[in-house]
Structure 1
Amino acid sequence: MTTTEPTDVTRQQTGARSPGITYQQMLDADTHPVPDVLRLESPRYLGSDDVPIERYTSREWHRKEVDHLWKKVWQFACREEHIPEVGDYIKYDIAELSYLVVRTEEGIKAYPNACLHRGRQLKEYDGHCSEIRCAFHGFAWTLTGELQDVPAAWDFPHVDQRPDDFTLPEARVGVWAGFVFINPDPDAGPIEEHLGELMEHFEVWDLENRYVEAHVSRVIEANWKIAQEAFCEAYHVNATHPQILTYLADTNSQVDVWDHCSRVITPGGSPSPLLGDEHGLSEQEILRSMLDVRVDQEAPFELADGMTARAAAAAAARERWRPVAGDRVDQMSDSEMMDSIDYTAFPNFHPWGAFNRIVYRFRPNGDDHRSAIMECFFLSPFVGERPPPAAEVKLGVDDPWVTATELGMLAKVFEQDVFNMAKVQKGLETTSKPGATFSNYQESKIRWLHTLLGEWIERGEAQAAAAGQPVEVSRGTK
């Protein structure tokens, strides 16, 4: 893996770094060897223009996303272990679209979730079947999509004459690291081409041999991009999560952008530079904050002379993971144990590196452009036979994250994050300012997402115009 150094021009364009040591300098002090993937640096200047608020508030823009993004792009549908046996299937929905992802003798296939007779949804829930039979009139297909049964077939001689028209059409399927992706576009390139650098970066972290320990979703009263963007930068920690400033170096985050993926790495076990030198936190005080020890309580242990809170917490994390990961933890750096290593593959897939376990997915909530579904998966190592995946815990708009005990302390942080999202949506609906403003460096991951989104929409509209197709913008109202 080649280490890339940012150019002076890129550094000037992205602006000065926050006061305090850089992330790369923190890696220099690691007690263990640091993997090459964390030594990569790829800041990218993507301009300073505002992003039009119509991307969050406009029904017309939402329709463009459905037609030119969701019908054309690779998207994470499920894990392989969600459909381990032949006949297992899941229903994957995106906007108003619905697909069946089915395990067959020939491998995993995906079909539009619609009967070729009268169009009824073929399946309403995840499950297991030996055939795909419509509950309306009983048309049935094999798992591999061939028409198998037409009740009163004597009345459908025209169906017999058009076998290709009555074979279930297929969406493309790709698998990487145990994740199953689908693409409704039959002409799409391979999943490997779409994920690009992400696949190489994760060679050091084996996500395939994990299991879904937890899966929690919640309906958010905001556009899916607003929900997603809250997890694409650490700049918001200062105002949204002030309780963790003493041990999370928010503005010391390193932001990297490549062609096919991006990431934000936020150091743990180190205080925010925004606190300033006047706070003068000792390493023991940092450790107490990380462990959430009250002022009237004794810390569970005292740091040895010269030991940093970051190194001590990393050592404790190794022991916590040793029963399931074995001696592999001894090869893991402090950074892999402590830091938030949040990758994104366009448009909405967020796997975290190392032992963070987190994978996010953000989708429109049906055909509502002012509502989203946010999901958090925990992918955990295991010993012996892979445990079955956890059932999804579905939270509604008014259900607090803290009721999802599966997420532990993370649920409390999510409460603070979600508190902002509906307010952002309402603010964007109200403001007279035509665009949202993002920083050049700390929020460059968001700029990258919008750059690609704009390219997808522009390309889709150009292709539709070249084919003489009308641009559909009018399903529903603004």
Structure 2
Amino acid sequence: MTQLSEPSSEQTDAEALIEQKVAGRVGKTYQQVIREDGDEIPEFMRPSWTDLGDEDIPIDRYTSREFLELEVEHVWRKAWQMVCREEEIPEPGDHIVYEIVNDSFIITRTASGEIKALQNACLHRGRRLRATDGKVPEFRCPFHGWTWELDGEIKRLPCSEWDFKHVDRERFALPEARVGTWGGFVFINMDPDCEPLEDFLAPIPDHFKHTSYEARFKSAHVAQVVSANWKVALEAFIEAYHLPATHPQTAPSIQDYMSQVDLFGKNVNRVLSARGVSSSTLGELEEEDIYESYLAARTFYEERLGENSRDVPREMLEGLPEGMTARKRIVNTIREDLAPRLGLDLTSVPAYQLMDAVQYFVFPNFFPWDSGMTNIYYRFRPNGEDPDSCILEIFYLTPVPEGGPRPKPAPVHWLERDGDWLDAPELGNLSAVVNQDRINMPQVQRGLKALQRTKPGITLASYQESRIRHFHARLMDYIAGRV
């Protein structure tokens, strides 16, 4: 394996800055890998990075009840957050209940087709109007029968003529959060003076415009309460530095330490990890070994074909022609064999979008992946007022079959608290990977409480964990009222 070369004419200023920061790192960069693919590289795939320093992150941000209270007031009630998919509420009266700490909303489709986020509490005595997702013609409080229209306007108030003469019906509409949509996702914001969703998400809409995510459906949704702060869980998924130790089975066929980290503005960051190449921790591997390692997991079949992957002839997978790299062979298999089985034409889709881990993060808690086929996305939320637990959710988005009806979105599958993710077979090979992360998270939370007696902060890598620094910089912008 060779030392990184001097910056070439193809390299950007950000690439040169990164090479200076990580001087001594050995292996091919992500940019070198995708240049060798021969595909045209769009500008948004180029590195975008700034040095955020090397200061420790205070541990009490993960353990303090008081800090969680600050997050509720200044983050969760101020920032845009993804609540559901539009397809989950296709008809008037369809709704989901979204809760974040003590705030509860009914996300519903009105009679006019508009999406509303209505406060899920009766304006009489405060009872929650809806405890579960579903479909109703109106929102009626089971306690005393106060009833609201789907758009939140008061509809029926028992005894209003003689015992509630003091109530101004015009002022008794259910309070609302602002609603925005992008890519088939629904977002809400409790701050009436918040910036437009499109500005908040930038540059996500531009980076994802090559694929219509509205034309995809939620094919899996798995959730679990984890015994760790929501930031501990989130940060377990935001960097590739942990791959060799936590996921050693991936090393022969995916980059880890050589992954590209990108920081965009204040709300968005990204990591890019090439598949079909080996980890720099393993030295030089033969292409045949890389290819066989990738096939051992059969990830691109199991995650995308499900049970139908068993019908894929073994001879379709075997054999690495002389002179061909493992990455090239895998890309050809996806384009020529897998895509037709899914009813897709992927001949012009670049290699990185077919197989690489292209993972974005949108503050405060949304992880959309970019893929030409099935997409993964994550969401992390506090579990009520408990700083020591959170809700982790993993979803799949799959293209709607051409010419066929839109499949119904998958219902949420709740796993036992801190339980086995192998109990979620709908995630395919990913369930075993998440299982390895699941073991770490509660142990980190417990370790932080022990560590803070002798060391007040956690120490992060300058480059590989800079997405965590980027996240905390924005977190503290909100906490300090700089937003």
TM normalised by structure 1 equals 0.90
Are positions 1:156 and 2:155 aligned together? no
Say which is worse superposed, 285-294 or 252-261, in terms of deviation: 285-294
Are positions 1:361 and 2:349 aligned together? no
* Alignment correspondent of 1:211: 217
Q: Which among 207, 215, 227 is matched to residue 221 of structure 1? A: 227
Q: Which among 257, 260, 271 is matched to residue 254 of structure 1? A: 260
* Alignment correspondent of 1:472: none
Are positions 1:449 and 2:471 aligned together? yes
Deviations 1:211-236 (A, max 9, x none): 01101011111001111111111100
* Alignment correspondent of 1:25: 32
For residues 93 and 24 of structure 2, the distance between their equivalents in structure 1, rounded to whole angstroms, comes to: 53
Shift of 1:35: 4.1
Are positions 1:120 and 2:127 aligned together? yes
For residues 169 and 315 of structure 2, the distance between their equivalents in structure 1, rounded to whole angstroms, comes to: 75
Asked whether the equivalents of residues 14 and 44 of structure 1 are also in contact (C-alpha less than 8 Å), the reply is no
Shift of 1:33: 3.7
Shift of 1:332: 1.2
Q: 1:345 to 1:4 in 2, by over 3 A?
A: farther
Give the unaligned 5+ runs of structure 1: 464-478
Asked whether the equivalents of residues 271 and 360 of structure 2 are also in contact (C-alpha less than 8 Å), the reply is yes
Q: 1:238 to 1:312 in 2, by over 3 A?
A: same
For residues 13 and 19 of structure 1, the distance between their equivalents in structure 2, rounded to whole angstroms, comes to: 13
Q: Which among 410, 417, 421 is matched to residue 401 of structure 1? A: 421
How many equivalent pairs are there? 450
Q: Secondary structure at the match of 1:29?
A: helix
* Alignment correspondent of 1:305: 322
Give the unaligned 5+ runs of structure 2: 1-9, 299-313
* Alignment correspondent of 1:466: none
For residues 132 and 293 of structure 1, the distance between their equivalents in structure 2, rounded to whole angstroms, comes to: 48
Q: What is the percent sequence identity of the aligned residues? A: 45
For residues 238 and 433 of structure 1, the distance between their equivalents in structure 2, rounded to whole angstroms, comes to: 26
**RMSD of aligned Cα (Å):** 2.0
TM normalised by structure 2 equals 0.89
Q: 1:163 to 1:54 in 2, by over 3 A?
A: same
Shift of 1:391: 0.8
Equivalent residues in 2 for 1:54-203, closer than 5 Å: 54-106=60-112, 107-153=114-160, 154-159=162-167, 162-203=168-209
Say which is worse superposed, 119-128 or 200-209, in terms of deviation: 200-209
* Alignment correspondent of 1:417: 437
Asked whether the equivalents of residues 15 and 47 of structure 2 are also in contact (C-alpha less than 8 Å), the reply is no
Q: Secondary structure at the match of 2:176?
A: coil
Asked whether the equivalents of residues 340 and 356 of structure 1 are also in contact (C-alpha less than 8 Å), the reply is no
Q: Which among 268, 278, 285 is matched to residue 281 of structure 1? A: 285
Asked whether the equivalents of residues 14 and 48 of structure 2 are also in contact (C-alpha less than 8 Å), the reply is no
Asked whether the equivalents of residues 132 and 142 of structure 1 are also in contact (C-alpha less than 8 Å), the reply is yes
Q: Which amino acid aligns with 2:96?
A: I
Say which is worse superposed, 343-352 or 198-207, in terms of deviation: 198-207
For residues 55 and 64 of structure 2, the distance between their equivalents in structure 1, rounded to whole angstroms, comes to: 19
Shift of 1:13: 6.8
Asked whether the equivalents of residues 213 and 380 of structure 1 are also in contact (C-alpha less than 8 Å), the reply is yes
Shift of 1:8: 7.8
* Alignment correspondent of 2:239: 233
Q: Which amino acid aligns with 1:407?
A: L
For residues 285 and 11 of structure 1, the distance between their equivalents in structure 2, rounded to whole angstroms, comes to: 30
For residues 139 and 7 of structure 1, the distance between their equivalents in structure 2, rounded to whole angstroms, comes to: 59
Asked whether the equivalents of residues 89 and 100 of structure 1 are also in contact (C-alpha less than 8 Å), the reply is yes
Q: Secondary structure at the match of 1:125?
A: coil
